[in-house]
Amino acid sequence: MSGSLDYDVAVIGAGPGGCIAAALLNNAGLDVGIFERAQFPRFVIGESLLPRCNHLLDEAGLLGRVEEQAYRVKRGALFIVGKERRAIHFEDQFTKGWSYTWQMPRADFDNTLAQGVQAAGVSIHFEHTVTAVEVGACPRLTVAGPDRECRDIRTRFIVDASGYGRVLPGLLDLDEPSGMPFRHALFAHVRGDRRPEEASDGRTWVSVHPEGAWIWSIPFSNGKTSVGIVAEPDMLARFPVDPEARMRAIIAADPVAAEFLSDLEFVMDPGEIRGYATSVKRLWGEGFCLVGNATEFLDPIFSSGVTLAMESGSRAARLILRELAGEPVNWNVDYSEYLMRGVNTFRTFVEAWYDGSFHTVLMAPKPKESITRMITSVLAGYVWDLDNPFVREHKRKLPQLARLLKRMEP
């Protein structure tokens, strides 16, 4: 790579958000360069997809490559709250969409996407860290390569898909405190887990811990399982400091988790993310936009992160194509407002998970089939389907349903 090399669009980060945007722009004939700090494959958390992702992968020409990997198929999820269990099935949906998706180690998945976009013609510069930017009419990036030499890259548009690197939020002072409470996540890959009967097909299951945390279990097709714990810092502090000992002790203190996760062999040192929720002041500006976790990240409970990263990558690519073709683009309406409709639908569901009202909805003794289908579509990532009342009026509908069901409890 030489300092004079220009790209129509420069993408920061080769995660799912960056790869989807790059693939669509490249397929439309633009010259796209991705600058990626890491060498792939690299570990990242976020291993359980939602069916909406399949549509976005297909659109970007990447679905076939993912299918070839034979990852574990995910047909739904199981939620366990004390003695109550409820499985959701993606085949029973309100929105016409995919009835399955996958769960897999992200190192492998992200590498598969990166190889797919490279094969289609995108240049990916691994081990190239973006250290400075200029935005506006003539955007530029400063990129430090493995030799630590800095080079200037000229481009027509910058897509920041840097995830937790949060490159543009940091450099352009766009970071904003998240309105979500401060929670930590502790996670590892393990062997030796067992599965509840309702998750015997290997689907993701989550269980609410009696002390307020929740635990996830995401089995892969390679014999390993991702196990993670999400909790507020005070709760975690009541358990041993050593991360593996802490995970084992938290699992042992939950009868459900202990039944299925007591004899684990850890095949990686546990990772930890403190205060994972993030937000930004705005999602775009002249010559740039943010996608994926570089924007807002709410919470892992409904596995929505990769879906939102891909959706924003796809949406951004479509608008960039119009802008670079000289057409007027209303980024506020067509990007920020569009994306926030989906994010805010998930926000309502996440808040209802933590205040317990979603547990009432999930565990309703005689759930109405039509309502279950609408809720399943939200949990499948179809959070832009305005025909679904639990999308269109999520703020009113979900609490209303929870209140009604609460009143009907014996």
Binding site for ligand FAD (CB under 6 A): 12-18, 35-38, 44-49, 129-130, 161-165, 167, 185, 187, 228, 273, 276, 292-293, 297, 300, 303-307, 309
Residue 161 CB, nearest distance to ligand FAD (Å)?
5
Residue 386 CB, nearest distance to ligand FAD (Å)?
22
Taking the least distance from each CB to ligand FAD, the nearer of 199 and 401 is 199
Could you give the C-alpha distances from 91 to 98, 195, 206, 380, in angstroms and in order? 8, 21, 20, 10
Residue 25 CB, nearest distance to ligand FAD (Å)?
15
Residues 106 and 19: their CA atoms lie apart, in Å, by: 13
Taking the least distance from each CB to ligand FAD, the nearer of 116 and 300 is 300
Taking the least distance from each CB to ligand FAD, the nearer of 86 and 164 is 164
Residues 137 and 312: their CA atoms lie apart, in Å, by: 22
Task: Tell the residue number behind the tokens 């352009």, with chain if given.
Answer: 172
Residue 82 CB, nearest distance to ligand FAD (Å)?
23
Residue 366 CB, nearest distance to ligand FAD (Å)?
30
Residue 134 CB, nearest distance to ligand FAD (Å)?
15
Burial of 146 (0-12, 13-18, 19+ CB in 10 A): exposed
Beta partners for residue 66, in sequence order:
none
Residues 160 and 292: their CA atoms lie apart, in Å, by: 9
In the structure encoding, which two tokens stand for residue 388, read together? Answer: 């679904």
Residue 272 CB, nearest distance to ligand FAD (Å)?
9
Taking the least distance from each CB to ligand FAD, the nearer of 206 and 402 is 206
User: Closest by alpha carbon to 202, among 229, 228, 230, 221?
Assistant: 221
160, 284 contact by CB (below 8 A): no
DSSP reduced 3-state for 188: strand
Taking the least distance from each CB to ligand FAD, the nearer of 110 and 385 is 110
Q: What beta strand segments (E) does 245-361 contain?
A: 265-266, 271-274, 279-280, 284-285, 288-290
Residue 319 CB, nearest distance to ligand FAD (Å)?
17
Taking the least distance from each CB to ligand FAD, the nearer of 48 and 54 is 48
Taking the least distance from each CB to ligand FAD, the nearer of 214 and 260 is 214
**How many residues in total does the chain contain?**
410
Q: How distant is the alpha carbon of residue 165 from its chain centre? A: 15
Taking the least distance from each CB to ligand FAD, the nearer of 53 and 401 is 53
Q: Which long-range contacts (CB under 8 A, 24 or more apart) does 221-225 make?
A: 221/70, 221/71, 221/72, 221/104, 222/105, 223/191, 224/105, 224/189, 224/190, 224/191, 224/267, 225/189, 225/190, 225/191, 225/193
b/e per residue 294-310 (b: at least 16 CB within 10 A): bbbbbbbbbbbbbbbbb
Instruction: Give the torsion sign (CA, 291, 189, 130, 34).
Output: negative
Residue 122 CB, nearest distance to ligand FAD (Å)?
14
Taking the least distance from each CB to ligand FAD, the nearer of 11 and 361 is 11
